[in-house]
Structure 1
Amino acid sequence: MTQQGVRWTADQVLALAPDAPSRKAGSRLGVAGPWSEAGSSGEGTVWGLCKGSGSKPYQTVVDIADVTGAAGPAYKCSCPSRKFPCKHALGLLLLWAGGEEPFGPMPGDSAPDDSAPDDSAPDAQPPAWAQEWLVGRRERTETKRTSDAAPGSATADPEAARRRAERRAERVTAGVTELEQRLSDLLRGGMASAEQSGYALWEETAARMVDAQAPGLAARVRELGAIPSSGPGWPIRMLEECALLHLLGQGWLHREQLPEALATTVRSRIGLPTSAEGRPVRDRWLVLAQYDTADSKLTTRRIWLYGAESGRTALLLSYGAAGRAPALALPLGLALDAELTTYPGAGQLRADLGEQFSAPVPTTVRPSGVGTDQAAKRYGEVLRDDPWLDSWPVTLSEVIPTPHPDPAFDSWQLADAGGDMALPITPSAAARAGLWRLVALSGGAPVTVFGECGHEGFTPLTAWPRGVGEAVALC
């Protein structure tokens, strides 16, 4: 991301960290002391040797530039860490982002007196150990890109693919039929039986859905096991979730009778793979938020984008094995001129990142916002297209974070500055440090907040102060 003379901020670097301990450890290494032979090139490469506990320093190199069409930066370090990026890569990027020795101002950085940038400085050349890795990585990426684009990369035998799809559909149908029977048994036996069964019943049922090749159903079934211990009112919540499962099952069994967009959504919610299709949309996409969720096997990164010209919101998903950060990284506060290809289905916002026409650059542009009543209305409207949608992205303008007016409710809300409407903040978001960053940013004044509006309330992800100011991550 250095092609246009743009250097990342420390917050953008730390957003790449796979977890909080890595951010803390990387911050300690973001000073010149432990580093030697560090340097960077105008092609988007940063390298250096970091002193460790052994006799030999760790060789660390980061390929930041998207020169081969790869998604996001890549890292190489001789340390034994299994986290990507490791603390040494984070520390090196923090040192580079600070613009201090040994890096100093890079070609294209603005001079203090706002004079024209000095582009005459020659690019440094990576050492042999870094160059070897860079060349190999870029060759592999180019080979993969060429292979994916080749006409022969499509399915060689369409008939075999059709038969595989039919066999999977039959297994899913058998799994859905079994799930429908179990839901009927639960209703006949009463909700008390769900409390007595605990997790065991639903874990076993989820395993059956995995066997039926319906991972989407399996994930929703597992969530049922936690409802009986979720506090007062759990039978109502259990009934609601069972009803949504029943609706999804019936949607699958009668998918041939549904409109194509809704049938595609049902297949996606069941867990059948889909791919982006249609005409790519080119825009200047603002990075609204980036956050990770993880379980024992997988880390999922969600990146929300907003088209400055189209006004469209899109979601990029990237995955990494446990302990590894996903490859795609677009820190908050950047904008990129790129094409996105959307996924099919009613109410779907997921997209794939296509060709990028320039490096991501910092921006102060903000998305347009709405009031809390309009946000709730939008979520209600999209539920007609996708009843299983947990939340919908929305930007709130001129809202103030305030405690709930009733002391009996130990919660917070976002209230319209010029009205009497408010959206409750979800309990999970209220328990995070991001809430206090939001309160501090507001100081009682209206702010602009981007987040996800759902049936549990509003989850703030990013905020902007009134007037001029940079985006602040809340997640």
Structure 2
Amino acid sequence: MSQQGVLPTADQVSALAPDRASRVAGSELAVPGAWSDTGWSDDGVVWGLCVGGGGPEPHRTVVDVADAWSPDGPALGSSGPAYGCSCPSRTAPCVHALGLLLLRSADGGPVQRAEAPGWAVRWAADRRGRAGRERGAGRGEVPDPVPGPADPEAARRRAERRAERVTAGATELEQRLADLLRGGLAAAEQAGYSLWEETAARMVDAQAPGLAARVRELGTIPGTGPDWPVRLLQECALLHLLVRGWLRRERLPGDLAVTVRSRVGLPTSAEGLPVRDRWLVLAQYDTADARLTTRRIWLYGTESGRTALHLSYGAAGRVPETALPVGLAVDAELAAYPGAEQVRAALRERFGSPAPTALRPPGTSTAGAVRRYGEALREDPWLDSVPVTLDRVVPAPDGGSWQLADADAGTALRLTPTARSGLWRLVALSGGAPVRVFGECGHRGFTPLAAWPEGPGEVVPLC
């Protein structure tokens, strides 16, 4: 029986993405204006022409979702959806397939039941024919002659072609940054956001979504506060460093080369060996834009001593599906993503329900937190922050802002402006006494996410 009528959630679709850059790029394509001639059929085929994915011609995208999902989630025994696209990407699913599935997952979305075009019908028939022959061979039947396994040489050539496109895009971006600095940063404010959006579109065409995202972030800086030229210059320098890292990636150490590939936007996956532990849920919070809601869940391994970040996504304002209660511990397996200073991990399997625990993560001083961030920057210069637990600190006003001061030393950490959402809870918990605080320490300061009283007591979420 076909499960075409069972729509996956946006979080289930996002979980199919091979990496964060693909998830973000796919969500950007999950809008009606990026597609034409979309439709779905009763036998589980979804198709469309993506006119917003870069390139002179629309990409033909088709997905076979028959029996991929049941009402309770992924269907038992199913290998998941199958994908076809005319784009040159070698990842599966590509960003166009993700965008199409996200568009189809929306209740009352623009993808309607229709008669499939010939190219989609032929693709589905060929794919299901091959799958049927493979199942027959597994039962001892003699299959018809079929093409052999994917050609490794062809895969290598596709990877080389994408690398060449990224290199061309990086070279162009390097020149554009040089032109910007040569003309003066004041021109950036006068040109408006269109300058950055056009450059970002060029990076999308070059199949470098990570570079495109950073260019868009640059476009939000001009005119925002008296120190915006300094911040713009700093971010341009970091982007230039990333471009140079890509152009000279063969000379980089292994972990740093993987980090550069990930920052540029090439796919990565959680390849580390799964680590089973009792993971204390330190914090959970969402960030959202017009296209994507990202949920960040910080976890601490009570036996391994590792801190990990699990990301979950929801499209078009939807709440991500994964949720873990702060302060409880969950027995689970996590697999790490590759790269220097990489703390992100995929949640593989959970064993039982979250349970209370009296354990807390060990803490350090404010000076130790700054030192930790500095050491991490040596491995990943584009790192915004690192997870840190501060021990025995007191929130205190510092002019027009706030800081966390060491109770046993003369050092302090400035709080970021975004910390104000939970600041008064932190002040109330402390009451002038030392507390233990978990948060993110970076170049903008410290963002507290959770806190514990010095004596016995439960965690207080600050976000």
Q: TM-score, normalised by structure 2?
A: 0.68
Distance 1:417 1:145, change over 3 A: farther
Aligned to 1:419: 409
CA displacement 1:297-320 (0-9 Å, x = unmatched) = 111111111011111101111111
Deviation at 1:160, TM superposition (A): 4.0
For residues 287 and 187 of structure 2, what CA distance do their matches in structure 1 show?
A: 32
Instruction: Give yes or no for contact 1:301–1:319 (8 Å, CA) kept in 2.
Output: yes
Deviation at 1:212, TM superposition (A): 1.4
SS at match of 1:301: strand
For residues 316 and 309 of structure 1, what CA distance do their matches in structure 2 show?
A: 18
CA displacement 1:163-205 (0-9 Å, x = unmatched) = 3322221211111111001011011111221121121211111
Instruction: Give yes or no for contact 1:401–1:414 (8 Å, CA) kept in 2.
Output: yes
Aligned to 1:465: 453
Unaligned runs of 5+ in 2: 1-14, 17-68, 83-133, 136-148
Aligned to 2:225: 231
Distance 1:294 1:264, change over 3 A: same
Distance 1:327 1:164, change over 3 A: farther
Letter in 2 for 1:142: L
Distance 1:381 1:161, change over 3 A: same
SS at match of 1:384: helix
Deviation at 1:145, TM superposition (A): 7.0
For residues 448 and 76 of structure 2, what CA distance do their matches in structure 1 show?
A: 39
For residues 338 and 273 of structure 2, what CA distance do their matches in structure 1 show?
A: 11
Matched, 1:187 2:181: yes
SS at match of 1:229: coil
CA displacement 1:190-237 (0-9 Å, x = unmatched) = 122112112121111111111211111111111212222122222222
CA displacement 1:2-49 (0-9 Å, x = unmatched) = xxxxxxxxxxxxxxxxxxxxxxxxxxxxxxxxxxxxxxxxxxxxxxxx
Deviation at 1:283, TM superposition (A): 1.3
Superposition map of 1:65-464 within 5 A:
136-138=70-72, 140-144=74-78, 156-404=150-398, 407=399, 410-430=400-420, 432=421, 434-464=422-452
Instruction: Give yes or no for contact 1:294–1:322 (8 Å, CA) kept in 2.
Output: no
Aligned to 1:128: none
For residues 188 and 294 of structure 1, what CA distance do their matches in structure 2 show?
A: 35
Distance 1:465 1:164, change over 3 A: same
Distance 1:147 1:217, change over 3 A: closer
CA displacement 1:410-444 (0-9 Å, x = unmatched) = 100011111111000001222x2x11111111111
For residues 376 and 249 of structure 1, what CA distance do their matches in structure 2 show?
A: 27
Deviation at 1:141, TM superposition (A): 4.0
Unaligned runs of 5+ in 1: 1-69, 72-134
For residues 207 and 360 of structure 1, what CA distance do their matches in structure 2 show?
A: 44
Distance 1:438 1:141, change over 3 A: farther
Question: How many equivalent residue pairs?
Answer: 334
Letter in 1 for 2:407: A
Instruction: Give yes or no for contact 1:376–1:453 (8 Å, CA) kept in 2.
Output: yes
For residues 282 and 145 of structure 1, what CA distance do their matches in structure 2 show?
A: 25
Distance 1:168 1:234, change over 3 A: same
Aligned to 1:65: none
Letter in 2 for 1:143: G
For residues 80 and 208 of structure 2, what CA distance do their matches in structure 1 show?
A: 33
Letter in 2 for 1:452: E
CA displacement 1:100-138 (0-9 Å, x = unmatched) = xxxxxxxxxxxxxxxxxxxxxxxxxxxxxxxxxxx9534
Superposition map of 1:45-84 within 5 A:
none
Distance 1:144 1:395, change over 3 A: farther
Distance 1:468 1:264, change over 3 A: same
Instruction: Give yes or no for contact 1:252–1:266 (8 Å, CA) kept in 2.
Output: yes
Distance 1:439 1:186, change over 3 A: same
Aligned to 1:132: none
SS at match of 2:257: helix
Distance 1:241 1:471, change over 3 A: same
Identity %, equivalent residues: 72
